Amino acid sequence: MMASLIEYGIRSPSVLHAMAGVPREDFVLEADRAHAYADRALPIDAPGQTISQPLMVALVVEALELHEGDRALDVGTGSGYQAAVMSACGAHVVSIERLESLARSAAERLHRLNYDVEVVEGDGTLGVPERAPFDAIAVGAAAPRLPIELARQLVEGGRLVVPITDGPNGEQLTRLRLVNGRWETESLGPCRFVPLIGADGYRDAATS
């Protein structure tokens, strides 16, 4: 896994160190443990949800430009893997998940593995105002448009990395940075994520 991350251009020493240290086999389903370090997304314990492929996690976390002690928000906890990688980069991480069962199992797992991550259950499209502002925010699901409440929860110099839907076939990984009070956005390349569901996201197909 580490060789493929380096081959695909991950350069940040702290991200490579974090990716090498977080035990991905503890975040995947028992039946998938043998493939835990293959560079692909794997199912997690909720219908249609996945733990992102390692390269995508590394790209997102590298794009966050985390520094020791940064306050970071992870939207879409899922298994908790990306939150663990962010924490291993030295950030204080708050992670928000809309599905109660996933939030509970990820919180237990992160605690058992000694990651200092606070897991919150709720709609992450609105951020976590009571913990804001953040130096860095990562969104682990595809947004229909820029989630404005998240952008508002950044400090000056803060980074928001979010996949934004770009036509029917996928998303553009987008980085927004708050520079001198203005939002600057840049496109980091195409990507594929499950939908972000919530007040400033997609509607839940199960309830609409």
Q: Tell me which residues are annotated as active site.
A: 52
Q: Give the nearer residue to ligand SAH in terms of CB position, either 34 or 206.
A: 206
Count residues near ligand SAH (CB under 6 A).
26
Choice from 151, 161, 164, 197 touching ligand SAH (CB under 6 A):
197
The binding track of 122-141 with respect to ligand SAH, each residue x by CB under 6 A or -, is: -xxx--------------xx
Pick 116 or 184: Cβ nearer ligand SAH: 116
Select the residue interacting with ligand SAH from 63, 66, 78, 135 (CB under 6 A).
Answer: 78
Q: Is the dihedral of CA 129, 130, 133, 137 positive or negative?
A: negative
In the complex, least distance from residue 81 CB atom to ligand SAH, rounded to whole angstroms:
3
Which residues contact residue 118 at a Cβ distance below 8 angstroms, ignoring those fewer than 6 apart? 93, 94, 95, 131
Please tell me whether residue 81 binds ligand SAH under the rule CB under 6 A.
Answer: yes
Bridge-partner residues for 117, per DSSP?
93
Spatial CA neighbour of 121 closest among 62, 176, 91, 80: 80
DSSP-assigned letters across all residues of 153-187: TEEEEEEEEEEEE-STT-EEEEEEEEETTEEEEEE
CA distance 174 to 106: 26
The position carrying tokens 């977080």 is 22
Answer whether 177's CB lies under 8 Å from 162's CB: no
Q: Which CB atom, from 82 or from 174, has the smaller least distance to ligand SAH?
A: 82
Question: With binding defined as CB under 6 A, does residue 198 bind ligand SAH?
Answer: yes
Interface with ligand SAH (CB under 6 A), residue from 54, 76, 158, 163: 76
Nearer to ligand SAH, 48 or 189 (CB): 48
Residues 89-108 within binding reach of ligand SAH (CB under 6 A): 96-99, 102
